[in-house]
Amino acid sequence: MRTLSKLFFFFLFLGLPFTKAQEWHLSTFGKSQYVPLEDFCRFYHFPQLPYSPATEVHLSNGLVSLDFKPNSSVVFIDGVKHWLSFPIIQRGAEIWISRTDLCCLFDPILRPERIPQSRLYRGVVIDPGHGGSDKGAISRKGTEKNYALDTARRLAAILKARGIPVVMTRNEDVFVSLDQRVRMAAYYPEYIFISIHFNQAYGDGHGLETYALSPRGSPSTNSGRLYLTDYIASPGNQTDPLNILLAHDIHSQIIRLHPADPDMDRGLKRARFKVLRENLLPSVLVEGGFLSNAIESSLVDHPIYRQKLAEAIARGVLLFFNQIHSQGKKGRPNTLASDGSGP
């Protein structure tokens, strides 16, 4: 069933202010509300082209590009792979985008200057995963806890050199509980939170992932289904728009470490890890490579790679700060804030 809703009330309910009203045609498919691609294109000034189920859709408005296939859960935003909360679907001649993804993915990235902020973020809490008795993933060459700490220290040095205050949840090989990490972050309400990890998997898993908190009422990317607990709001959902913008900015930089291998981009995913779920700061978790992969574990073991990973994360942080500190400016920044190693 299709209904009409004024844009102002539609987004006011979700906490996103808009300056003028536009009618959106809402339909429910399954248990999720959707808006037509036609309305999406009209609002964000994308030219509308004819589509077919077998065709990949490419949209560009001169500032940002989108690429996706109908009935898929993946969209590329400026070449950055995102896993949607709900698939883009096609019904007859119409393509539909979920209301959740519209509000919690597309709008924050397409219009970062519109994200409401209660404070000016100025520093970074860096969280090296695991530590002490908790070794994390293990390869023949080393452990996740040590690689994460080394990368975190490198990231801290880069950010401090740019005048950005930094706090580490651990700066030594000690065990720090997830609760302690979250409580420590709460002492720095004007900071953002970046958790650094390295991956492992059975089989041939490889590549880079970045995680942001799943929006309320949506599944985690790797769960494959909705659970009743997914409908419960978490403290971290208070910063949903900032979470996804931060994750997008960081992921857009770390995937540049492997420009010749697009398969290394495993995408920006959603999860309810405790350091994301219970965190009041804009938060992300970065997986810098698979220690269970022989080739990738050798790469991670090299200090030069960890330095480049830290530099890429730092570029993402600087881009994020540049965007959120540009309140009142229309459109996305045309240049990338860089620490000198970027474009």
Domain end among 110, 139, 162: 110
Residue 8, number of CB atoms within 10 A of its CB = 14
Range with the poorest average pLDDT among 7-11, 18-22, 168-172, 265-269: 7-11
* 287-308 confidence digits (pLDDT tens): 999 999 999 999 999 999 999 9
Question: What end-to-end distance do the CA atoms of the chain give, in Å?
Answer: 48
- pLDDT, residue 21, reads 56
Is the pLDDT score of 10 beyond 80? Answer: no
Residue 156 and residue 48 share a domain: no
- pLDDT, residue 80, reads 97
220's tokens: 């985690």
Backbone angles phi, psi at 263, to 5 degrees: -70, -15
Question: Distance between CA atoms of 81 and 95, rounded to whole angstroms?
Answer: 20
- Residue range of the domain that includes 78: 2-110
Give strand pairing partners of 29: 32
Nearest-CA neighbor of 128 among 191, 194, 79, 81? 194
**pLDDT > 70: percent of the chain:** 87
Nearest-CA neighbor of 132 among 149, 157, 155? 149
110's tokens: 């397409």
How confident is the model over 120-137, as a mean pLDDT? 98
Residue 204 and residue 145 share a domain: yes
- pLDDT, residue 52, reads 65
- pLDDT, residue 51, reads 65
Question: Distance between CA atoms of 327 and 238, rounded to whole angstroms?
Answer: 19
* 28-59 confidence digits (pLDDT tens): 998 899 999 999 999 999 997 766 666 889 99
Residue 156 and residue 72 share a domain: no
- pLDDT, residue 342, reads 27
Angle made by CA atoms 144, 145, 151, in degrees to the nearest 5: 85
Query: Domain total for the chain?
Result: 2
Nearest-CA neighbor of 68 among 34, 111, 106? 106
Q: Which one-letter DSSP state was computed for residue 62? A: S
Provide the residue count of the chain: 343
Q: In a 3-state reduction of DSSP, which class is residue 193?
A: strand
Query: Where residue 152 sits, what CATH number does that domain have?
Result: 3.40.630.40
- pLDDT, residue 329, reads 42
Question: Distance between CA atoms of 68 and 77, rounded to whole angstroms?
Answer: 9
The answer, as to whether pTM is greater than 0.75, is yes
* 199-243 confidence digits (pLDDT tens): 998 877 899 999 999 999 999 999 988 999 999 999 999 999 999
26's tokens: 């809402």
Residue 236 and residue 174 share a domain: yes
